[in-house]
C-alpha cells in the first residue's frame, strides 16, 4: 500500500479525497486525513446560511459514513504539529507518529487579523469556522439583552458583506468598515461599488469606506472603533473579515519554501520544494498568488491527485477568477480583468441608478476582444459575456450592444449570435443554450419562434434574449433551406413596404378591409400599429382615427409611463420659447402637480398626468398657443438647433429659423420609426445635428445636408447627402428623402438601419434623391406636400370633439380615478413607487 496523508479537512482536502477515489488504480493507495476541527469537512462558502438556520450537518460535504465506505481513515480533532520530511513522517499534538509516501497539505487559511490595538478585546470575532459563528451568535444574544444595537464588520470584501448580512439577521444594526475607498475592491471598480453600496444601504446596512481603524475602544469588552481624526463608531461587537492568511506554519516549520507574504510555494504539479509533499487550496502559493476561491482549489486537488498517480495533468498558467453570485440579494459578477489598469483596453460603462444596475465591459484597444467586466444589480448577461471572454470570441461592431442589448426593434444586439458555441447560454433566466434552441428547429421538434419559446421557455423570463433567440431561430430555419421572408407578423405574408404599396394601390382605408382582403385572423399588437402608420403616411389620418389600433402612446396622444400615467410634451420648434409660454407650462405643471424635466430635444416634458386630466391639460396649453409635440408618435419629434447667427459670434447662418421651418414642415407625419433632426450654424456643431436622422450644418456658401444618423443604442453619424446647397434645395432633398424612407423602411426601423440595409448604400440613395434615378421624385415631393398641407394638431382635434374626448377617462361607468397610482418623493418633485 502506498500511503498518502492529507493534512486539513476543509473543502479542498475533501475534494482531493473525492477526486482521488474516483480514479482508476486508487486501490493501491491508503489515504489518511487529519483535521483539527471536530467535524467532517463542511461547505464554508455557504457558511452564513448557518445563521439562517442550516445545521452543521446540512453544511457537511459528505455523509457520516462516506470516509469509511471509501476506505479513508479520518482523524478529526487531531492537529498535525510537525513534518519530518527526511524520514517521511509526521507527528500530531497527541504525540502520534505516522509515515507517508506522499503528503498533501490542505491546511487552508485562517482569518487575517490586522494588527490593530485592542483586537483581543471581548466581543471581537473572526468569521471563518462554525465555532466562530457559534461564538458570534452567543455574544449577539448577550449584548442584545443588555440593550446593545450596533455591530460592525471589518472588511468590505465578499465575505465581509456576507458577515454583515449575518449580523443584521441576528437583529443588530450592521456597519461595514472598509479601509479601501470601495466595496469588494478586488472585484469592483468605483462605479460598481457605489451601486452595490446604495443597494446594500437600502437594506439597512451602513457602509463606512476609507476608514483606517486606529484602535478598538473599551475596557474589557469592545465599545467602539476609533478611526482617524478622532472619529468614533460606537459598536458592541466586531466581526473581522479582512482577508485570509495561509496556514503555512507546518510547511514553514518543515523547511519548505514559502512566499514572502506567506503560502507554501508550489509548481504547476502542485508540488512543494519537496517533491513528495503537495500543497493545494488556500495554503498553496501558485504563480505568486493565493487563490481564495473554491473553483481553483478544486482544480488544484484534481491536479495533485493526478500527479500522485503519475498522471499528466498540470495546473493552468492563468487561473480564472470570474465569479457570479448573489450578495445580500444583489446580483454581482466580475470576470476576466475587471479593471484593465494597464491601458491596454477601453471600458464601456452602463449605469442605471433608478434600477440599481451597473455594467462595465472592457474592450481591447483594437475593439476586437472582450477583456473582462463587472455587473452589479443584474448579472443576466454574465453567461454570454463570460462565453465570449473565455472563448476569445469576436465581439459586435458596437460592443456596447453586449451589455445594452437591442432596443426599440432596431438591429439585433449580437450580429453574430450564430458564432457563439453551442454551449453558450442564450436565455440565462431559463438556462437555455444556443444548442438547444437551434437543435429544436433543425431536428424538427419546433418550427417557429413561438414553438421554440414553448419548448425551451427561452425569452420567458426577462425577455432580454428575445432578439438573439429570434436571430438564432431565423438562422436555423435558413440552414434547413426554408425561405425566411421578412413578414410583419402571422397575419400578413407581406413586408411593410409591400403593405404600403398594396394599401396605396387598392386605396384601402381601414384595418378590417386590409385584414379581410390580404390578411388573416384579427391582427395583433404588431401589425395593427403598422397599418395605422401606413394610413397616416398615405392619407394623413391623425391618431384620433383607428383609435383602438394605435400603439400604446398614440392611442391617448401621450407617452404612457411606468405607472400607467402619461407625459405631456408640447411642441417648441427649434427649442425656441417665449417667457410667457414658459410660464404657462410652469403653471400647468404646478396645477396638476407634474414632474417636470427638460428633454434632450430642447423642450419640456411633464410627467405624471392622469388619463382623465389629459384633455384639460392640453386645453390650457393650446389656449396658450401650444400644439402637440408628437413625442408619443413614430413621427418627427423635434429639430434641435444652436442659437445661430442671430446671437452667436461664430454663426454662419440662421440655424434656429431653419430648424423651426423644418420642424413645422414635417411635424405630425407618421413614419416607420421616430425621426429627429438638428441644425447647426457652424461646424462646431452645437446642435449635434450629425447624431440625428437628418442634420443640416451651415458652411461657407450654403448648407451641408447629412442623413441617417442617430444616437441611442448604436450611435451613428449621419452621412453627407449634399454639400453647400441652398435652403430651397435642403427642403427639396428632405421631402424626397423622408418620403422614400416612409415608403420603403420596415416597421420600427430607424433611418440609419434602413440605410445600412439598403442595397447600394448612400451612393444609391444619392442617386435616387439627387439624380432622380428612379424617376419618382416628382411623386415623392407631391406626396410630401400633400401631407404638409393637410396637417392638423391632433390634440386640438381631440379636445374639440366630444366623441373623441370620451376615451380620456379611466372608468367608463364612473368618474373615479385609478386608485392604484402611488408616488414617492424625488428631490423636490415626485416619481411613481417602484415596481
**Site residues (CB under 8 A) for another protein, limited to 624-683:** none
Rg over alpha carbons for the chain, rounded to the nearest Å, is: 34
Regarding 454 and contact with another protein (CB under 8 A), the answer is yes
Work out how close the CB of 434 gets to another protein at its nearest, in angstroms, rounded to a whole number.
Answer: 18
By beta-carbon proximity to another protein, the closer residue of 152 and 453 is 453
Regarding 816 and contact with another protein (CB under 8 A), the answer is yes
| Pairwise CA distance, residues 295 & 415, whole Å | 33
By beta-carbon proximity to another protein, the closer residue of 146 and 812 is 812
Work out how close the CB of 512 gets to another protein at its nearest, in angstroms, rounded to a whole number.
Answer: 6
> How many other C-beta atoms can be found within 10 angstroms of the C-beta atom of residue 773?
14
Dig out the grid coordinates for 541 from the structure: 389620418
Is 427 part of any known ligand binding site? no
DSSP character at residue 637: E
By beta-carbon proximity to another protein, the closer residue of 209 and 560 is 560
Work out how close the CB of 615 gets to another protein at its nearest, in angstroms, rounded to a whole number.
Answer: 16
Regarding 459 and contact with another protein (CB under 8 A), the answer is yes
Choose among 77, 103, 75, 107: nearest CA to 89.
Answer: 103
- Say if CB 521 and CB 490 are below 8 A apart: yes
Is 708 part of any known ligand binding site? no
Work out how close the CB of 410 gets to another protein at its nearest, in angstroms, rounded to a whole number.
Answer: 16
Dig out the grid coordinates for 205 from the structure: 446596512
| Pairwise CA distance, residues 599 & 689, whole Å | 16
Is 648 part of any known ligand binding site? yes
By beta-carbon proximity to another protein, the closer residue of 491 and 634 is 491
Give kind and range of the element (H or E) at residue 665. helix 655-666
**Site residues (CB under 8 A) for another protein, limited to 748-807:** 807
DSSP character at residue 408: T
**Site residues (CB under 8 A) for another protein, limited to 138-177:** none
| Pairwise CA distance, residues 388 & 395, whole Å | 7
The piece of 69-77, 454-462, 602-610, 660-668 that touches another protein (CB under 8 A) is 454-462
Regarding 69 and contact with another protein (CB under 8 A), the answer is no
| Pairwise CA distance, residues 319 & 505, whole Å | 66
Regarding 810 and contact with another protein (CB under 8 A), the answer is yes
Quick one: which of 86, 813, 825, 828 contacts another protein (CB under 8 A)? 813
Regarding 548 and contact with another protein (CB under 8 A), the answer is yes
Work out how close the CB of 810 gets to another protein at its nearest, in angstroms, rounded to a whole number.
Answer: 6
Q: How deeply is 737 buried, as exposed, middle or buried, from its count of CB atoms within 10 A (0-12, 13-18, 19+)?
A: buried
DSSP character at residue 49: G
Is 642 part of any known ligand binding site? yes
The piece of 450-458, 593-601, 673-681, 760-768 that touches another protein (CB under 8 A) is 450-458
The DSSP-derived string for 86-153 is TTTEEEETT--EEE-SEEEE---EEE-----BTTTSBTEEE-SSHHHHHHHHHHHHHHHHTT--EEEE
By beta-carbon proximity to another protein, the closer residue of 250 and 406 is 406
> What b/e sequence results for 170-206 when a residue is b if at least 16 CB atoms lie within 10 Å of its CB, and e otherwise?
bebebbbbbbeebbbbebbbebbbbbbbbbbeeeebb
Dig out the grid coordinates for 537 from the structure: 403616411
Regarding 555 and contact with another protein (CB under 8 A), the answer is yes
Task: Look at the alpha carbons of 830, 832, 833, 835 in this order and tell me if their dihedral is positive or negative.
Answer: negative
Choose among 125, 119, 167: nearest CA to 144.
Answer: 167
Work out how close the CB of 398 gets to another protein at its nearest, in angstroms, rounded to a whole number.
Answer: 25
| Pairwise CA distance, residues 276 & 266, whole Å | 12
DSSP character at residue 712: S
Total residues in contact with another protein, by rule CB under 8 A: 40
The piece of 315-323, 473-481, 561-569, 695-703 that touches another protein (CB under 8 A) is 561-569
Report the DSSP beta bridge partners of residue 530.
Answer: none
Regarding 562 and contact with another protein (CB under 8 A), the answer is yes
Regarding 407 and contact with another protein (CB under 8 A), the answer is no
Regarding 820 and contact with another protein (CB under 8 A), the answer is yes
| Pairwise CA distance, residues 426 & 409, whole Å | 19
| Pairwise CA distance, residues 151 & 171, whole Å | 10
Residue with cell 438638428: 678
**Site residues (CB under 8 A) for another protein, limited to 477-516:** 490-491, 511-512, 515
Regarding 560 and contact with another protein (CB under 8 A), the answer is yes
By beta-carbon proximity to another protein, the closer residue of 187 and 550 is 550
The piece of 119-127, 258-266, 387-395, 525-533 that touches another protein (CB under 8 A) is 525-533
Regarding 117 and contact with another protein (CB under 8 A), the answer is no
* Binding-residue pattern over the window 563 to 592 for another protein, x denoting contact by CB under 8 A: xx----------------------------
Which residues contact another protein by CB under 8 A? Answer: 453-454, 457, 459-460, 463, 490-491, 511-512, 515, 521-525, 527-529, 547-549, 551-552, 555-556, 560, 562-564, 807, 810-814, 816, 818, 820, 835
As annotated, the binding site includes: 642, 648, 682, 686
Amino acid at each position: 500500500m502506498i500511503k498518502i496523508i492529507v493534512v486539513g479537512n476543509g473543502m479542498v482536502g475533501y475534494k482531493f479525497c473525492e477526486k482521488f477515489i474516483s480514479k482508476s488504480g486508487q486501490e493501491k493507495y491508503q489515504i489518511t486525513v487529519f483535521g483539527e476541527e471536530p467535524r467532517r469537512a463542511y461547505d464554508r462558502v455557504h457558511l452564513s446560511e448557518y445563521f439562517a438556520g442550516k445545521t452543521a450537518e446540512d453544511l457537511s460535504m459528505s455523509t457520516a459514513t462516506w470516509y469509511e465506505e471509501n476506505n479513508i481513515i479520518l482523524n478529526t480533532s487531531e492537529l498535525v504539529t510537525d513534518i519530518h520530511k527526511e524520514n517521511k513522517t509526521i507527528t500530531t499534538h497527541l504525540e502520534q507518529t505516522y509515515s507517508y509516501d506522499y503528503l498533501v497539505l490542505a491546511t487552508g487559511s485562517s482569518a487575517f487579523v490586522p494588527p490593530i490595538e485592542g483586537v483581543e478585546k471581548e466581543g471581537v470575532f473572526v468569521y471563518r469556522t462554525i465555532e466562530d459563528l457559534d461564538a458570534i451568535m452567543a455574544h449577539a444574544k448577550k449584548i442584545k439583552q443588555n440593550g446593545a444595537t450596533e455591530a460592525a464588520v471589518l472588511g468590505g470584501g465578499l465575505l465581509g458583506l456576507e458577515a454583515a448580512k449575518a449580523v443584521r439577521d441576528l437583529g443588530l444594526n450592521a456597519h461595514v468598515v472598509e479601509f479601501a475607498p470601495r466595496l469588494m475592491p478586488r472585484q469592483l471598480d468605483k462605479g460598481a461599488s457605489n451601486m452595490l453600496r446604495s443597494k446594500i444601504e437600502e437594506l439597512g446596512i451602513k457602509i463606512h469606506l476609507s476608514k483606517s481603524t486606529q484602535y478598538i475602544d473599551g475596557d474589557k469588552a469592545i465599545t467602539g472603533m476609533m478611526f482617524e481624526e478622532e472619529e468614533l463608531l460606537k459598536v458592541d461587537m466586531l466581526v473581522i473579515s479582512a482577508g485570509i492568511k495561509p496556514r503555512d506554519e507546518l510547511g514553514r516549520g518543515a523547511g519548505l519554501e514559502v512566499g514572502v507574504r506567506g503560502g507554501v510555494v508550489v509548481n504547476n504539479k502542485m508540488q512543494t520544494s519537496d517533491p513528495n509533499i503537495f500543497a493545494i487550496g488556500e495554503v498553496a502559493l501558485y504563480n505568486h498568488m493565493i487563490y481564495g476561491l473554491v473553483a481553483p482549489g478544486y482544480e488544484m486537488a484534481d491536479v495533485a491527485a493526478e500527479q500522485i498517480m503519475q498522471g499528466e495533468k498540470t495546473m493552468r498558467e492563468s487561473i480564472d477568477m470570474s465569479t457570479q453570485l448573489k450578495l445580500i440579494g444583489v446580483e454581482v459578477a466580475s470576470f476576466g480583468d475587471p479593471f484593465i489598469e494597464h491601458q491596454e483596453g477601453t471600458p464601456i460603462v452602463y449605469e442605471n441608478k433608478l434600477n440599481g444596475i451597473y455594467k462595465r465591459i472592457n474592450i481591447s484597444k483594437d475593439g476586437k476582444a472582450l477583456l473582462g467586466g463587472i455587473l452589479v444589480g443584474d448579472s443576466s448577461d454574465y453567461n454570454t459575456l463570460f462565453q465570449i471572454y473565455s472563448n476569445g470570441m469576436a465581439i459586435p461592431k458596437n460592443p456596447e450592444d453586449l451589455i445594452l442589448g437591442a432596443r426599440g426593434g432596431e438591429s439585433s444586439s449580437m450580429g453574430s449570435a450564430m458564432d457563439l458555441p453551442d454551449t453558450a447560454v442564450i436565455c440565462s433566466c431559463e438556462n437555455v443554450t444556443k444548442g438547444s434552441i437551434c437543435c429544436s428547429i433543425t431536428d424538427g421538434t419546433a418550427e417557429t419562434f413561438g414553438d421554440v419559446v414553448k419548448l425551451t421557455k427561452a425569452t420567458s423570463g426577462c425577455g432580454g434574449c428575445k432578439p438573439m433567440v429570434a436571430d438564432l431561430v431565423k438562422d436555423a430555419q435558413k440552414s434547413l433551406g426554408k425561405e425566411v421572408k421578412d413578414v410583419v407578423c402571422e397575419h400578413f405574408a407581406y413586408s411593410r413596404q409591400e403593405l404600403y404599396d398594396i394599401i396605396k394601390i387598392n386605396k384601402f382605408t381601414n384595418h378590417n378591409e386590409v385584414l379581410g382582403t390580404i390578411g388573416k385572423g384579427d391582427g395583433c399588437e404588431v401589425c395593427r400599429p403598422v397599418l395605422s402608420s401606413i394610413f397616416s403616411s398615405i392619407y394623413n389620418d391623425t391618431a384620433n382615427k383607428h383609435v383602438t389600433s394605435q400603439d400604446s402612446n398614440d392611442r391617448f396622444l401621450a407617452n404612457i409611463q411606468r405607472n400607467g400615467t402619461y407625459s405631456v410634451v408640447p411642441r417648441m420648434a427649434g427649442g425656441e420659447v417665449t417667457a410667457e409660454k414658459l410660464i404657462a407650462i410652469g403653471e400647468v405643471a404646478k396645477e396638476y402637480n407634474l414632474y417636470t424635466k427638460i428633454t434632450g430635444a430642447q423642450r419640456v416634458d411633464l410627467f405624471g398626468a392622469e388619463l382623465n386630466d389629459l384633455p384639460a391639460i392640453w386645453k390650457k396649453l393650446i389656449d396658450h398657443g401650444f400644439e402637440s409635440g408628437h413625442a408619443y408618435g413614430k413621427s418627427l419629434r423635434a429639430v434641435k438647433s444652436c442659437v445661430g447667427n442671430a446671437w452667436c459670434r461664430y454663426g454662419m447662418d440662421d440655424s434656429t429659423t431653419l430648424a423651426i421651418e423644418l420642424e413645422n414642415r414635417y411635424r405630425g407625419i407618421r413614419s416607420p420609426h421616430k425621426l429627429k433632426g438638428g441644425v447647426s450654424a457652424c461646424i462646431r456643431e452645437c446642435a449635434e445635428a450629425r447624431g440625428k436622422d437628418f442634420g443640416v450644418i451651415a458652411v461657407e456658401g450654403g448648407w451641408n445636408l447629412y442623413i441617417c444618423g442617430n444616437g441611442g443604442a448604436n450611435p451613428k453619424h449621419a452621412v453627407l447627402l449634399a454639400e453647400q446647397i441652398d435652403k430651397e434645395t435642403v427642403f427639396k432633398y428632405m421631402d424626397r428623402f423622408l418620403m422614400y424612407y416612409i415608403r420603403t423602411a420596415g416597421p420600427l426601423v430607424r433611418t440609419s438601419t434602413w440605410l445600412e440595409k439598403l442595397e447600394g448604400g448612400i451612393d444609391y440613395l444619392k442617386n435616387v434623391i439627387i439624380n432622380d434615378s428612379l424617376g419618382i421624385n416628382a411623386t415623392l415631393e407631391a406626396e410630401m406636400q400633400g401631407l404638409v398641407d393637410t396637417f392638423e394638431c391632433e390634440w386640438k382635434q381631440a379636445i374639440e370633439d366630444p366623441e373623441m374626448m370620451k376615451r380620456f377617462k379611466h372608468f367608463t361607468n364612473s368618474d373615479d380615478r385609478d386608485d392604484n397610482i402611488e408616488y414617492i418623493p424625488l428631490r423636490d418633485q415626485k416619481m411613481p413607487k417602484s415596481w
